[in-house]
Amino acid sequence: EVLAGARSDSHLRELRGLLARAVSLQVTPAHYELAAALFRSARQEGLTVRRLNDCLIAAVAITHEVPLLHADRDFDALVHVSDLMVDTA
């Protein structure tokens, strides 16, 4: 998803460099359960989450207790219904 947002070849190289330094976090079946719960909680609060995979990303960040760097309004909505920590820097 990150690489798909590259605006140019040089931006793509920059993004690849950033991702090479990123830590991969394990995804378990429990994360899928939490993702579904996050989606339902947001909907019950009248918040729209456009992509269910954003709920999965948030679930992984929540359970691993790491902040999520993003530029996606879905995560801003999920902050209101969870313990998701975000950074938009």
pLDDT at 84: 98
List the chain pLDDT tens, one digit each, 89 residues. 789 989 999 999 999 999 999 889 999 999 999 999 999 999 999 999 999 999 999 999 999 999 998 889 999 999 999 999 998 76
End-to-end CA distance of the chain: 18
What is the per-residue burial (b if ≥16 Cβ within 10 Å, else e) of 56-74?
bbbbbbbbeeeebebebeb
pLDDT at 75: 96
pLDDT at 46: 97
The pTM of the full predicted model, rounded to 2 decimals, is 0.84
In sequence order, the β-bridge partners of residue 68 are 86
All structural domains of the chain? 26-87 (3.40.50.1010)
**CB distance 39 to 55 below 8 Å:** yes
